[in-house]
């Protein structure tokens, strides 16, 4: 803050006004980023990425795979390669146990430990 105040004394009055406007916009953007991070920490699903994922899942049905049901279990299958995993999203039935089959086709340093996040999204 001291440096910012000193900088404004070195530049012209016209440039100082522009600097204040830019800094105001920057403060607003940082506030939105912090608000989004707070929503991520709450786990409410109202953060930017969750809302975007919900919208893309509802508009792009080809990106999701439905589970198959047999012997009282619903089975989902995922292939893991060096470039990522496919499919990235599944549609599950509520109330049925899930069997998750992961085929590690190309195990690398980045994907040898599986980390997962379960998110329930109800699409109608």
What ranges do the domains of the chain cover?
2-42, 61-124
Higher pLDDT, 101 or 58: 101
Fold of 61-124: Immunoglobulin-like (2.60.40)
The number of angstroms, rounded, from the C-alpha of 60 to the middle of its chain's C-alpha atoms is 16
pLDDT of residue 62: 47
Residue with tokens 């509802």: 58
Whole-prediction pTM: 0.42
pLDDT of residue 57: 54
At 36-58, the pLDDT tens digits run 999 888 877 788 887 777 666 55
Higher pLDDT, 60 or 65: 65
Spatial separation of the C-alpha atoms in residues 113 and 76, rounded to whole Å: 19
Q: For the chain, first and last CA: distance in Å?
A: 50
What is the Cβ-side half-sphere exposure of residue 76, based on CA atoms within 13 angstroms? 18
pLDDT of residue 58: 55
């Amino acid at each position: 803050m001291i440096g910012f105040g000193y900088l404004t004394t070195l530049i012209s009055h016209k440039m100082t006004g522009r600097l204040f406007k830019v800094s105001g916009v920057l403060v607003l953007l940082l506030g939105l980023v912090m608000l989004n991070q707070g929503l991520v920490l709450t786990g409410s699903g109202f953060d930017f990425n969750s809302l975007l994922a919900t919208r893309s899942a509802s508009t792009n049905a080809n990106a999701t795979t439905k589970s198959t049901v047999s012997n009282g279990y619903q089975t989902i299958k995922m292939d893991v390669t060096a470039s990522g995993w496919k499919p990235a999203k599944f549609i599950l039935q509520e109330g049925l146990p899930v069997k998750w089959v992961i085929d590690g086709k190309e195990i690398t340093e980045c994907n040898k430990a599986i980390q997962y996040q379960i998110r329930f999204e109800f699409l109608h």
